[in-house]
Amino acid sequence: MKNIDLSFYLEPPELTVSGTITIDALAPLSMVESQPGAYFRTALKPPPMMVYGALENMLGWHLPLKDGEGNVSRNTVLKGLAKAAKRRHKKLEEYKGHPWLSGKPLISSKTGYFSLLQYHLTLEEANTPAEPLVYDDLWSMHLRDKGMNFTGGSRNYDGQLEAFITQLRTSASTFKKMTPAEAKLRSEEKYELGDRKGFERIELDKVYETNTRKVNPISFRSGYPMYYVSPKKRGFVVPNELYVMAFRTTPAVLSILEDAFQHNYAPTYLGSSEGWINLKISSDES
């Protein structure tokens, strides 16, 4: 990851600059604020926390929620910035006890995300489109668990499994045509996957060297992608007008954002990665 200049945080959050951010939706948007269950309900206008995320993505700030594997978490970075700012401004009475120096986020999203910009950039609510097009569609959600759902949730798997998967599907099709009585009588002939007692764990490279027909697939988990796909019902909105959000910020952050709008490091989107948007910034000083 490239070096990130976060020196703006060391200056007091004196929000002397105001303006607007205009958001033009280039595709249908699905702006889901929290991790739901079976249905992903979209907001009709961009939640401020989601716009913070789009701005940080544009700036190239990709920080994990937890420390590990050589990565420094967002929480650790915030604490370090607050500590440095506190050392620099500890003699200023007007900032004594200020939350900016606490090393804790002022607000967080329902998924745990918070922005490093939040003390030095405030975003107002966007306008709600008068008559937006709203619809539901199926969306592929990538999941990972310790069970065996991965076997039916991926079109891709190791080529060594091809003949074995064909056996499973052929066996399932054959038994589906049988009467319940015949299927019960010949149950020992059926190829099955399961994680119950009696299902044998077979390593990927040994899958053709066994006569067992009851196989526990956990042993060849490495033959499948890390995540499996589960279709979910998700809401989308197509606004019939531009979204406009008023903001207040510091001169330093305005300069960072204006530069990023000219030389952004990544595509900007809201909600799902397919929800591409075009962002424009305008300050009252320009």
Give per-residue pLDDT as tens, 69-112: 778 899 999 999 999 999 998 778 888 889 999 999 998 888 78
Q: Which amino acid is at 174?
A: T
Q: How far apart are CA 231 and CA 150, in angstroms?
A: 13
Beta strands in 30-100 (DSSP E): 39-40
Q: Which of 62-66, 232-236, 246-250, 282-286 has the lowest mean pLDDT?
A: 282-286
Please determine, for residue 209, whether its predicted confidence score (pLDDT) is greater than 80. no
Rounded average pLDDT over 2-18: 92
Question: Using CA atoms, how far apart are residues 135 and 236, in angstroms rounded to an integer?
Answer: 5
Confidence class for position 116, pLDDT limits 50, 70, 90:
very high
Give Cα 123 to chain centroid, integer Å: 21
| Helices and strands in the chain, H and E counts | 5, 10
> What is the rounded CA–CA span in Å between residue 55 and residue 238?
21
Q: In the predicted model, is pLDDT for residue 286 greater than 60? A: no
Single pTM value for the model: 0.79
Mean pLDDT of the chain: 88
pLDDT-based confidence at residue 227 (cuts at 50, 70, 90): confident
- Sign of the torsion formed by the C-alpha atoms of 86, 88, 91 and 92: negative
In Å, how far from its chain's centre is CA 220?
27
Backbone angles phi, psi at 127, to 5 degrees: -70, 150
Helix axes 48-59, 251-262, angle to 10 degrees: 70
Q: What is the pLDDT of residues 17-30, one digit of tens each?
A: 999 999 999 999 99
Q: Three-state DSSP class for 54? A: helix
Q: How far apart, in Å, are the Cα atoms of 163 and each of 28, 168, 169, 213, 228?
A: 41, 9, 10, 14, 21
- Whether 55 has a pLDDT exceeding 80, the answer reads yes
